[in-house]
Chains A and B, each alone.
Chain A
Amino acid sequence: MKLREIAHSRTGDKGNISNISVIAYKPEEYSLLEKYVTAERVKEFFSDIVKGEVVRYTMPNIGALNFVMYNALGGGVTRTLALDIHGKSLSSSLMNMEIPDK
């Protein structure tokens, strides 16, 4: 199934760093996120876009993961040539990631 079926997401930017949350709709499904949505998979997923490291922070208190992606925004909102200057649309793309069915 698609990640979209069990999680929602929001992108933020600070300079050339993008962060994407992945948040379980149901607390009991957070463990699936922790198991299947790894930093390695997210880095591979965005390999065309993210040139730096991807670091994952776990936030079990709210059923969320936070992916911090370095060198991801073509220089950041103030100088990038990209159409999506903030990388706002990245979260929606990540919702397309495949994870094993429940």
Chain B
Amino acid sequence: MKKILIGSGAGYSGDRIEPAVELAEKGNINYLVFECLAERTIAIAQQAKLKDPNAGYDALLVDRFKAVLGICHRNKIKIITNMGAANAVAGAKKIREIAEELGLSGLKIAAVSGDDVLNVVRDGDYAIMETGEPLATIKDQLVSANAYLGAEPIVEALQNGADVVITGRVSDPALFMAPAIYEFGWSMDDWNTLGQATLLGHLLECAGQITGGYFADPGYKDVAGLARLGFPIAEVQEDGSFVVTKVPGSGGQVKLANCQEQMVYEIHDPKAYITPNVVADFSAVQMTEVGKDRVLISGGKGAPKTDFLKASIGYKDSFIGEGQISYAGPGAAARGQLALDIVAERLKLMGVDYQEIRFDLIGVNALHGPKLSAGHEPYEVRARVGGRTKNMREAVRIGNEVETLYTNGPAGGAGAWKSAREVVAMVSALVPRSLVSYSIQYEVL
């Protein structure tokens, strides 16, 4: 029976590099997938592309491809990634350059475009999903709009013989579904199989989060070898069932509990996980440990896809100014609180114009507020003030009022730090599928 092995080489844009090298060298994999595109990354990449038409792809693309491209070429492993960000075509050209530097030949690189729907949403009458407000309310602040494409363009590129497929925004699961759809010839309206394939992508897309990362809790959930965590491999069968595993000898673990946590990660209704290709249903999924670091997963189902694609929309939202300073020893919390009270009064006295403000004592209540944090006296605290403003000038003033606590605030203020930055934030809107089309460009060498 035919079986394909898909490895997950990165779970986010800044992820570790060498686990993918381990997969390519020792994983016996057929496909290596890198999911590297967070929500906001594409908006920032879009701004970079406006300044330089050859920019706009992932910042670590060069490092990752230099690390794996030669090994993948030698071991006949195809690479699929969304590292194209705002400029997949430029990303593909850069990969070509790297291949030439490495002296590789017989390589076909596909660049998928078409996710950029900025003109579509500018011209249309769309609602912001998060607030229900018209998108027109932020029309002048828009930076980017990218629809989540499905698996179709990647499948087409593979059918055309691509060894490397680089995309911009596609649904994360689609990166993993596409090779299985291509290899097994699954129909694009076989909803149950596509639902199971979505589960495959959903479980692998965060890489180390299913092999023991984001899991350890000493004494309750111990995980060995997190400094050399192995990234996951799915051994996919023709019926869509798959075993999640990792390279023997690598760090981490693949147990039921890891897979269960990752299945529920970032889903809402388990019966309706909406993707561009299918509305997946995880309510009948079965997981079984079938060996050391081997979990068999089946039972994903699905219903027909919707007529809409979600678009992720970047806009210039505001500015954030922030300052921090530490206190330690007896009375540290009281001095930290005094520091916050002083800054609150100073911001008012100086007339700093902010729209939202937050005062935290790191080590006391910064993460969960007063109710959940009550009842302990720490040795050290870090006072933190963060405020939202309409311009950079006001944002800078917030951090300054924390820094001046050195000489004007409570005793023993230490390690002050400040920052001010512009915020490009993201909202979503549903765009009719019929208004979005893709194209593929190839680099051949």
Measured CB to CB, the residues of A under 8 A from B are: 4, 8-10, 12-17, 19, 21, 23, 25, 45-49, 55, 57, 59, 61-64, 66, 68, 74-79, 81-84, 89-90, 92-93, 96
Contacts and interface: CB of A to CB of B under 8 A. Distances in A.
Given A8-B217, A12-B265, A93 B368 contact: yes
B337 to A, nearest CB: 16
Contacts of A23: 257, 260-261, 264
Contacts of B318: 79
12 contacts: A15-B427, A19-B266, A21-B261, A23-B261, A49-B368, A75-B425, A78-B426, A81-B357, A81-B387, A83-B362, A83-B367, A90-B368
Contact of B39 (A25, A47, A57, A77): A77
Nearest to A20: B264
Nearest to B286: A61
Contacts of B386: 81
B293 interface: no
Given A10-B262, A61-B284, A49 B270 contact: no
Contacts of A63: 260
Contacts of A59: 264, 270, 282-283
Nearest to A21: B264
Contact of B370 (A4, A48, A57, A76): A48
A8 B46 CA distance: 39
A71 to B, nearest CB: 9
B384 A10 contact: no
A68 B285 contact: no
Instruction: Rank and list the top 4 A-B pairs by shortest CB-CB distance, nearest first.
Output: A12-B266, A48-B369, A21-B264, A79-B425
A45 B265 CA distance: 20
A33 B369 CA distance: 25
Given A21-B261, A48-B371, A93-B368, A61 B285 contact: yes
B350 interface: no
Contacts of A55: 268
A92 B367 CA distance: 11
B234 interface: no
Contacts of B360: 83
B202 to A, nearest CB: 11
Interface in B267-321: 267-270, 282-287, 299, 317-318, 320
